[in-house]
Structure 1
Amino acid sequence: MKTRVFIILSIIISCAIKAHAQANFNQVDIWLKNNAAEMGGRVVLVVYKDGKLIYNHAENNMSIKQKFVTRMIARKQGKKADLDDFSSTSKVAIASCSKWLSAALVMTFVDEGKLKLTDTVGKYLPVLSQHGKGMITIGQCLSHQTGIKTSPLKESLEEMRQENSMDDAMADIAALPMEGTPGKVFHYSNAGLQIAGAILEKISGKSFETLFAERIAQPLGIKNTDFGHAKVALPAGGAYSTSEDYLNFLTMVLNRGVFNGKHILSENSITQMQVNRITPDVKITYTPAEAGGLGYGYGEWVFDAHTVSSPGLFGSFPWIDKAKQYAAFMLCFYIKSDGRQQRYKELKQLVGEAVK
C-alpha cells in the first residue's frame, strides 16, 4: 500500500513540475498565437537547454488567402502545394539559415588542415584569378567581404538555379564586377559561400551535398536536411530542413562543437565563426533591413556579445544565447519581411524570460 501511495505521489509531483515548467512559456504561447498570421499562418518553435528539448509548440491557422498564395507558388514551381500543419518534423526551405550550416562544413576542412581561412580562392579556382578575384580569401568568402558586386539575393539564387555545373557557376561569379577591396566591403550575398562550396568540391572530389551529409548531417543525427539535390548546390540559401534537425545543429554549436560526445567542430572554429568581422574600417554596401546594425562572423549574424543567429529570407529564425545557455529555432515560411527584426527581438526576450 505504501509503495502504491509513493508511486501515485511521485506521478502527481512529476506532473506538477512539468505543468510548472510549461507555464513558464505561457507568454511565448500567446506570442506565437498572436503572430502566426503575420508569419504565413504556420509556425513552430523548439527550444533546447540543459541537455534536453524544453519547448516544442506549433501554431497552425492559415487564412484562405495564404492557402491560395501557397497553391499559386507551388503551381509555378510545378509542385503540389503543402498545406499540412507544421510540426517539429515539417521540412521547408530555410533560405539563408543555410549559411550557418555551410560555413560549419567549411570549418571542418579548416580543422583538418585541408584549408586555411587565409588561403586565396585563386589557389583552387583559376577562373577567379583570370578575372582579378584570385586574391579573395576563404575567410572573406564566409563573411561576405569578397568585394564582388552581386545581384539582389532572390535574383542571385534564381540565377544560380539555372546553372548546369559548379564550374559554370564559378565562371559567372568570376565575370561579376568588383565594388571594393576584399576585406574592406561587406555585401550580404550568395557569392562568397558559393565560391567556398566550389572549393570544397575541388579539394575533396565529392559533391557539396555529399560532403554536408557526411560531415554535418550524419554525425548530428540529422535525417531530413539537404540542399535540394539539384545539379548545383546552393550553400548560401538552398537548404531544406526541419526544426528538429536544425536544433541538433544548434545544440552542437552551443556545446562548443560537441554533439553526443562527438567532436564535430573544434572549439576554436566555433569561436572564429562568432567573431564580428564588420570592423569600423569595413564599408557596408548591402545588408538586409531586418539585420540593420548587427555584426557578422562566418555564416552567422552577431546580435550582441552573447547572441548569434542566421535568419532566412522566408522568416525562419535560429539563435543561440550563450549567456543563458540555450538554443532555439522558429520555423515558418512567408515572404513579407516588414517588422521581422522587431518580432525576432520580442520572441527572443520572451524565450529568455521563460528559460531563467
Structure 2
Amino acid sequence: MKKHIITILALTFSIAAQAQNFQPVDRWLDDNAAKMGGRVMLMVYKDGQIVYSRSANNMTMAQKMAGRMMARRMGQTPSFDDYTASTRQPMASCSKWFSAALVMTFIDEGKLKLTDTVGKYLPMLSQHGKGRITIGQCLSHLTGIKAPELRESMADMRNARSMDDAINQIAQQPIEGAPGTVFHYSNDGLQIAGAVIEKISGKSFETLFTERIAHPLEMKDTDFGKGPVALPAGGAGSTPNDYMNFLEMILNKGTFKGKRILSEKSIAEMQINRLSPSVKIGYSPVEAGNFGYGYGEWVMEGGAVTSPGLFGSFPLVDNQRHYAGFLMCVYIKNDGRNERYKQLKSLLDTAMK
C-alpha cells in the first residue's frame, strides 16, 4: 500500500511538471545561447522537485576557437560538449551569495553582529581610517571604499600571499564616502567579512564554507579553490546541481531536507534592499539595471533575489511564485544582459502559473 502511495505521488508531481508550458523558455534558450557564450544550461526547481532542466548548444566557430586558445593557456583539453547538471564552471560574483550566507551563520550563532565594526578584528583597517565599517556594510557594498575595477581587484587578490596581505591591500584603497552613504559594487567588502570570520573561528574561509554551507547542502563539487587566499566575492566554482541545492535552501527560508542552515530572520535580512534614496551610487554594473541590493544578493522587482556573475550565470529565487532557477553560461560581453535576465524571468513566471 505504501509503495502504491509513493508511486501515485510521483506521478502527480510528474503530471504537474508537464502541465507547465516551458516551450517559450526552450525557444528563448535556443535563440539566446549564441549570445551567451554558445552554451547554456537552465534548471528550475519548484514544490520539492526539478521541474525543468535543459541545455542549448549553438557555439560558433569563433567561440570554439576562443575556447581552444583559453584551454591551451590553462593547460586543459578543450571541450565543446553540452553543459549538464554536473558541469562545473567558475561562478564569479554568483559566489557572493554563498559568502554572505556563510557570514550569516556566525550572526545566527551570536558570534558576530551585523553592527560590529571591522576594526575590532582587523586593526590594519583602523590604521587606515576604515575601522568603523560594519559587517552589514561589508555585505551590502556600503563600505565607502573606492575599490578598483572588478577584474583588476580580483587579479590583485589572487596575487595576495595571505588573507592579511589581502586586507593590507584593501586598507590602502581610497575612500569615496562615509560608510553607509555610498554603494560601490566590488570585491572588498566580502573579502573583509571573510577575513573577520577567519579571525573569529581560527579556521580558513575554505574550511568554514565546506563545514557550514557546502557539506550540509550536499554541494559536493563546490569550493573556493586551493589558493593561498580564498576570494569570497568571486572565487567559487560550482555546478547547476550544487547551486540549486543552495537556492532550495534560500527559497525554503533557511532549511534544506529538514536541516536548518540559516535562520528565517537571516534569510529575511539578506533580502532587504539597502539602497535607500539617500545612498549615492558610486559604481553599479550595467547588467544590474535598477535592481536593489541586500546582503550578497540583488533585489529584483517583485521581491525576487539574484546574484549574477561576471561570466553571465544567473541564479534566481522568486519568493512570490515559490520557485528557483539557475542559468549557467560563460561569456564576458554584457551588452543586453539585464534585459535577457528580465526576459527569462518573465517567461519563467508565466510557466510557473
SS of 1:58's partner is strand
Instruction: Supply the distance in 1 between the matched residues of 2:215 and 2:151 (Cα, whole angstroms).
Output: 29
Instruction: Supply the distance in 2 between the matched residues of 1:104 and 1:64 (Cα, whole angstroms).
Output: 40
Are positions 1:116 and 2:113 aligned together? yes
Are positions 1:97 and 2:76 aligned together? no
1:200 to 197, 200, 204: 197
What amino acid is the match of 2:97? Answer: W
Per the alignment, residue 336 of structure 1 pairs with 333
Are positions 1:49 and 2:46 aligned together? yes
What amino acid is the match of 1:109? Answer: F
**Deviation at residue 306 of structure 1 after TM alignment:** 2.1
**Deviation at residue 19 of structure 1 after TM alignment:** 9.5
SS of 1:57's partner is strand
Instruction: Supply the distance in 1 between the matched residues of 2:130 and 2:224 (Cα, whole angstroms).
Output: 26
Per the alignment, residue 184 of structure 1 pairs with 181
Instruction: Supply the distance in 1 between the matched residues of 2:12 and 2:279 (Cα, whole angstroms).
Output: 54
Are positions 1:355 and 2:343 aligned together? no
Instruction: Supply the distance in 1 between the matched residues of 2:75 and 2:175 (Cα, whole angstroms).
Output: 36
Instruction: Supply the distance in 2 between the matched residues of 1:161 and 1:238 (Cα, whole angstroms).
Output: 9
Instruction: Supply the distance in 2 between the matched residues of 1:246 and 1:315 (Cα, whole angstroms).
Output: 14
- CA displacement 1:181-206 (0-9 Å, x = unmatched): 00000000000000000111111111
What amino acid is the match of 2:175? Answer: M
Per the alignment, residue 218 of structure 2 pairs with 221
Distance 1:15 1:205, change over 3 A: closer
Instruction: Supply the distance in 2 between the matched residues of 1:213 and 1:184 (Cα, whole angstroms).
Output: 34
**Deviation at residue 17 of structure 1 after TM alignment:** 6.2
**Deviation at residue 159 of structure 1 after TM alignment:** 0.9
Structure 2: gaps of 5 or more residues: none
**Deviation at residue 23 of structure 1 after TM alignment:** 6.1
Instruction: Supply the distance in 2 between the matched residues of 1:262 and 1:137 (Cα, whole angstroms).
Output: 29
Distance 1:120 1:84, change over 3 A: same
SS of 2:268's partner is helix
Q: How many residues align?
A: 347
Instruction: Supply the distance in 2 between the matched residues of 1:270 and 1:343 (Cα, whole angstroms).
Output: 27
Q: How does 1:291-310 map to 2 (within 5 A)?
A: 291-310=288-307
Per the alignment, residue 3 of structure 1 pairs with none
SS of 1:277's partner is coil
- CA displacement 1:107-155 (0-9 Å, x = unmatched): 0000000100000000000000011100000000000000011110111
What amino acid is the match of 2:177? Answer: G
Q: Which of 62-71 and 116-125 deviates more?
A: 62-71
- CA displacement 1:199-227 (0-9 Å, x = unmatched): 11111111111110100011111101111
Per the alignment, residue 66 of structure 2 pairs with 69
- CA displacement 1:154-200 (0-9 Å, x = unmatched): 11101111111111000110011101100000000000000000111
Instruction: Supply the distance in 2 between the matched residues of 1:186 and 1:216 (Cα, whole angstroms).
Output: 27
SS of 1:149's partner is coil
**Deviation at residue 94 of structure 1 after TM alignment:** 1.0
What amino acid is the match of 1:189? Answer: S
User: 2:20·2:352 contact (CA, 8 Å) conserved in 1?
Assistant: no
Per the alignment, residue 127 of structure 1 pairs with 124
**Deviation at residue 67 of structure 1 after TM alignment:** 1.2
- CA displacement 1:246-275 (0-9 Å, x = unmatched): 010000000000111110000000000000
Q: How does 1:256-275 map to 2 (within 5 A)?
A: 256-275=253-272
Distance 1:20 1:217, change over 3 A: closer
2:283 to 276, 283, 286: 286
TM-score, with normalisation over the residues of structure 1? Answer: 0.94
User: 2:17·2:51 contact (CA, 8 Å) conserved in 1?
Assistant: no
2:230 to 228, 233, 240: 233
- CA displacement 1:324-343 (0-9 Å, x = unmatched): 00000001101110110111
- CA displacement 1:289-324 (0-9 Å, x = unmatched): 011211000000001232100000100000111110
Per the alignment, residue 85 of structure 1 pairs with 82
Per the alignment, residue 55 of structure 2 pairs with 58
Per the alignment, residue 4 of structure 1 pairs with none
Q: How does 1:17-28 map to 2 (within 5 A)?
A: 18=15, 21=18, 24-28=21-25
Are positions 1:149 and 2:143 aligned together? no
Structure 1: gaps of 5 or more residues: 1-6
SS of 2:295's partner is coil
What amino acid is the match of 2:119? Answer: G
SS of 1:96's partner is helix
Instruction: Supply the distance in 1 between the matched residues of 2:20 and 2:232 (Cα, whole angstroms).
Output: 39
TM-score, with normalisation over the residues of structure 2? Answer: 0.95
Larger Rg: 1 or 2? 1
Instruction: Supply the distance in 1 between the matched residues of 2:93 and 2:342 (Cα, whole angstroms).
Output: 18
